[in-house]
Structure 1
Amino acid sequence: MDIKTIQTSYARWAPIYDKTFGAITNDGRRRAVGYINSGSGHVLEVGVGTGLSLGHYRPDMKVTGIDFSEEMLAKARTKVQEVGLRQVVELRQMDARALDFPDNSFDTVTAMHVLSVVPEPERVMSEIARVCKPGGRVVITNHFKRTSGPLAALERVSAPFANVLGWHSDFAIERVLGEPSLTVEERTSLPPLGMMTFLLLRKTGG
């Protein structure tokens, strides 16, 4: 999926995202932020979207969010202003393939339900690893394709409609596990029906 298609897709979905995909992915989002809240430091949320996760961070956290879609970011900024989310220090428009941050900037980097949407997810993972501090955490929730069963067949049927849906139903987990500086510490299936996966990775070094 190219970046222009993604931009068009999310401009279309922005007005109804919270009540559609946002509702489906809520459990994964809560699980990810709940884990992040067990630590401290500066958090980068890659693909912050409409800001559905922002209110779940502890008030004393320091959160920066980025997204490619200005339409999504406009909704996130409105949430921050209306609710008074002091933990959110910055929301920026940015391409996740070229993060405008120095190396080793963040204690935690999270990507919730975004890696099956972006072009070149391997490049995004390299950028995530680059800006994460040595010893820092990378927290991912995402849908990954199944290899068997009725849902696997449904994913294969849905795959050609990626540009319409705005995400890849047949996205392989191996595409986010190839970054050599990141080691998997946890991999857990999440509701609904185990469709989503929680991944915790640790950056080596430090």
Structure 2
Amino acid sequence: MIAEKLVRTYKFSFDENNQELAFFGSMRPERSVEMADCVRLIEKSIASIRGTIYINVKRLVRLNNVAFHALGGALLKAVDERPDLKVSIITSSVIGWSTKKFGTLTAKNPRIIVEEYDSEFYPGQTFLEEGGFIPILRTQTKLTWRHEKDILPRHGLKPGMTIADICCGIGDFAQLVHKEFSPGRIVALDHSKSSLSYARGVAADFGIQGIEYIYGDASEMLLEDNQFDFVTCRHSLQIFNKPEFILKELYRICKPGGRIYITNEKNSHCLGEPRAESIQWTYNEVAKLFDHFDMDVELGPKSRRYMQDAGLEDIRMESFMVTNLDGNPQDFADIIQSWENVYAGEMAVKRGDPPEFITRFRKGFQDHIFAALHAKGYAGWPIWVASGRKPL
């Protein structure tokens, strides 16, 4: 049973089943007496549980000193009085001050710990967001856009809609949607500061205005409920170890009757001729490598199940193959080279793979490049598209 109460500019709730007390919004009282209800809820909640109580402040966007002293004082008092009690405060890196501020309570009592929720939530992010990999994402989007600009209307995208592009990466998809479909509003959110910086720079260089780039955690977005007609999340569920958390948030921010649009891959279905056997072996190993880091680049065909489980209806699915024939074959080859650099040059090394494995692993990527550039060759990269409607 979850009890919830609105207090001024913030809410708080207690989930007895999970022993979690959550705070949302902006907590800026002028006097400590304004925190009385909140403190009583903390005391009542703690009295009803054993072991660990979880204090969720991931969506507490502001907290002044009056509120912090009231919260912190109540928690310190509780652990002093209850030797059996532990307090775990769950913060997010998106709210930059929260981990440091609540961390001061740990110094006063080690049974109060602070856990930054998203510090381990994105196991593959460091591989995919930095350095030379960022520019190649533009090439990937250029090749996929040839297909998606025709696919998107079939999945419900129309001019004038309010759009959220979640896990927007370097922002190029949002820019293309902005140019092609003239949305009424478009918000682009990502958890990578470097990617967002790149996106803002490109938008400025190209004179693109009207895209709201936001730093945020896709699993705990600081966006209001039910505000977007069309919510996109491309090539992203496959790199989260808990994709259902992301879909839950996409569902929350989508308007009733609006649609959620996702794309994901099945990397083991990448193909090429000639040298098909070597290529197939490598991409089978890519899937295993990602699984080692709790990512699923085989998620594409599973999208329908995920969307049904999220509560969506009228689910539409289709797939398309990006190939070396979609424009300049060298563009396709450049993408494969970037994959080799990251997957064989970084991820396999971090997993601890032996040199002989990495040599064979690299050969499959090089053979895929060979197929892409061969005068009679064919190389493909399959992508699954799925969308679903949020019930009215």
Match of 1:49 in 2: 169
Residue 170 of structure 1, CA deviation? 2.5
What SS does structure 1 have at the residue aligned with 2:189? strand
Match of 2:184 in 1: 61
Residues 67, 92 of structure 1: 8 Å contact kept: yes
User: Which residue identity does 1:200 align to in structure 2?
Assistant: S
Identity %: 21
Q: Which of residues 148, 172, 195 is equivalent to 2:382?
A: 195
- Give a deviation string over 1:129-155, Cα, whole Å, max 9, x none: 0110100011112214679x9888654
**Change in 2 beyond 3 A, CA 1:37/1:108:** closer
Where relative contact order (Cα < 8 A, 6+ residues apart) is larger, the structure is: 1
Which runs of 5 or more structure 2 residues have no equivalent in the other structure? Answer: 1-119, 272-276, 323-379
**Change in 2 beyond 3 A, CA 1:159/1:194:** closer
Residue 162 of structure 1, CA deviation? 2.1
The reply to whether residue 157 of structure 1 matches residue 285 of structure 2 is yes
Match of 1:81 in 2: 204
CA RMSD of aligned residues (A): 3.2
Match of 1:169 in 2: 297
Matches of 1:49 and 1:164, distance apart in 2: 23
User: Which residue identity does 2:160 align to in structure 1?
Assistant: S
**Change in 2 beyond 3 A, CA 1:85/1:39:** same
User: Which residue identity does 1:139 align to in structure 2?
Assistant: Y
Residues 27, 190 of structure 1: 8 Å contact kept: no
Residue 113 of structure 1, CA deviation? 1.3
- Give a deviation string over 1:6-34, Cα, whole Å, max 9, x none: 33111242244323x44554445534655
Deviates more, 1:136-145 or 1:125-134: 136-145
Residues 268, 284 of structure 2: 8 Å contact kept: no
Residues 230, 260 of structure 2: 8 Å contact kept: yes
Greater helix proportion: 2
Structure index of larger Rg:
2
User: TM-score under structure 1 normalisation?
Assistant: 0.80
What SS does structure 2 have at the residue aligned with 1:116? helix
Match of 1:30 in 2: 149
The reply to whether residue 185 of structure 1 matches residue 315 of structure 2 is yes
Match of 1:11 in 2: 130
User: Which residue identity does 1:70 align to in structure 2?
Assistant: K
The reply to whether residue 40 of structure 1 matches residue 227 of structure 2 is no
Matches of 1:31 and 1:68, distance apart in 2: 28
Matches of 1:14 and 1:164, distance apart in 2: 23
Matches of 1:53 and 1:165, distance apart in 2: 26
**Change in 2 beyond 3 A, CA 1:71/1:195:** same
User: Which residue identity does 2:391 align to in structure 1?
Assistant: T
Which runs of 5 or more structure 1 residues have no equivalent in the other structure? Answer: none
Matches of 2:176 and 2:214, distance apart in 1: 19
Matches of 2:267 and 2:147, distance apart in 1: 16
Matches of 2:136 and 2:294, distance apart in 1: 13
Match of 2:234 in 1: 112
Matches of 1:27 and 1:116, distance apart in 2: 22
Residues 230, 258 of structure 2: 8 Å contact kept: yes
Matches within 5 A, 1:139-150: 139-144=261-266
